[in-house]
Amino acid sequence: MIIRNVNGTAIRAGKVIGAWAERMTDGPTLGTPGLLRLEMVLSEAGNLTENLVPSTRSAWHQKKVLRDACDVMEASVFPVRSGLCETVDISGHRNNTAVSAATETKAGEFNVWRNSFAAEYLPAGGSLVHVDGVPFRFPPLCEGPDNVRCAGQFIRVPEGHYDWIHVLAASERRSEDTVQLNFADGSVDAEALRVSDFWAAPAWFGEIKAFESLVMHYPHHVQRGIPAVMWAQRIPVTRRTGLTGILLPRNVAVHVFALTLQRTES
């Protein structure tokens, strides 16, 4: 992740913190130089320094503090890209339940085999989540449909000039289809929507792994060893005019959990 300070200078604080945090898996503590550097970076960011004072507590605790700091920084500290983003309300289009509770795995039906993501591994339903600096409104979980299984739905968006449509999505097997972008001046463009398989698969299209359920829910049991993955993908808006709507593909394999528009930087 990349954090920017008040002057707009890119600081790879998140990556630094992430790497240190990972190293702590094997080591008992951070080295003093590392902590000093971390404090400096966080000072620049202007927040959270107090949470990262060298601690005598366990490696696990330090790691958790660092990870929390990363999350909070990414979500709320000078998120330049975040400031350009608007989440899109797709609640009226949700038509599929992809996430289930361990106590009611039968409720899920992401794919034709009725497998589903495990709710316990995912963010809280309805929460604002950030993936690589992009905010998404995570759908409500275990309260009915939580995603849009693509069937040609037309999603109206606030008219505006955008560079990217960010998508939180997953697919039954790798999918490559098109979305149609409708503009205020009557022009229409088709752009690719590429989504990798949710089933223990790599990011074939170069997406970011947004969330991962480490177990797969089956109708009658919880399966270890098969993760279910939700991807953060993006679609370019190349036309420099006002976007008004997005027509999803007619493709039942593709599931959209959240949409966010990124405005053109003025």
Partner 1 sequence: MTVEATARTYTITGPEPELWYRDLISCLQATCGSMLAREGADPLAVLGAGWQFLHLPGDVRSEEFYYPCVEGQLGRALAPHHDLSARWWQPADEGDVWREVRERLADDRLVIAAVDNFHLPFRPAYGDVHAAHLVVIYGLDETRGVVHVSDAMPPAFRGAVPIEEFLRSWGSANPTDAQDAFFSDSEIGRRCLDVSLGAQPASLTPELLGGYLRTDIEGFTTETSARTGLAGYDAFVGELMERCRAGDTGVLRDLYPFGWAMQAQASLHGELLRRCGRDWDDAVLAGAGRAVETVAHAWTGLRFTGAHGHGDPRAVAPDIEHHATLLRAAYARAVDAVVAAAARL
Q: What are phi and psi of 157, to 5 degrees?
A: -130, 155
How many residues of this chain interact with partner 1, rule: CB under 8 A? 30
**How many CB atoms sit inside 10 A of residue 113's CB?**
12
By beta-carbon proximity to partner 1, the closer residue of 74 and 172 is 172
237 touches 148 (CB < 8 A): no
Examine residue 61 and tell whether it contacts partner 1 (CB under 8 A).
Answer: no
Binder to partner 1 among 175, 213, 233, 262 (CB under 8 A)?
Answer: 175
Does residue 252 belong to the site contacting partner 1 (CB under 8 A)?
A: yes
Q: Which is nearer to partner 1, 55 or 223 (CB)?
A: 223
185 phi/psi in degrees, rounded to 5: -85, 10
Residue 191 makes contact with partner 1 by CB under 8 A: no
User: Is 180 a residue that touches partner 1 (CB under 8 A)?
Assistant: no
> In this chain, which stretch among 47-55, 68-76, 123-131, 249-257 interacts with partner 1, using CB under 8 A?
249-257
**Backbone region of residue 204 per phi and psi (left: phi > 0; alpha: psi in -120 to 50; beta: other values):** alpha
Which listed range, 44-52, 58-66, 120-128, 219-227, lies at the site for partner 1 (CB under 8 A)? 219-227
How far apart (Å, rounded) are the C-alpha atoms in residues 58 and 71? Answer: 20
How do 116-118 and 99-100 pair as beta strands? parallel
Nearer to partner 1, 62 or 96 (CB): 96
Does 204 participate in binding partner 1 (rule CB under 8 A)? yes
Q: Does 74 bind partner 1 (CB under 8 A)?
A: no
Site string for partner 1, 110-139 (x = CB under 8 A): --xx--------------------------
Q: Of 20-28, 33-41, 221-229, 240-248, which segment contacts partner 1 by CB under 8 A?
A: 221-229
Shortest spacing between CB 241 and partner 1, in angstroms: 27
Hey, which residues between 76 and 115 contact partner 1 (CB under 8 A)? Answer: 112-113
As a whole number of angstroms, the distance between CA 152 and CA 130 comes to 27
Strand boundaries in the chain, DSSP class E: 3-4, 10-11, 85-88, 99-100, 116-118, 128-131, 134-137, 148-151, 154-160, 162-171, 175-183, 188-195, 208-217, 222-236, 243-247, 250-263
Name which of 55, 65, 67 is nearest 28 in CA terms: 55
The contact set with partner 1 (CB under 8 A) reads 112-113, 171-177, 194, 196-197, 199-202, 204, 216, 218-221, 223-226, 250-253
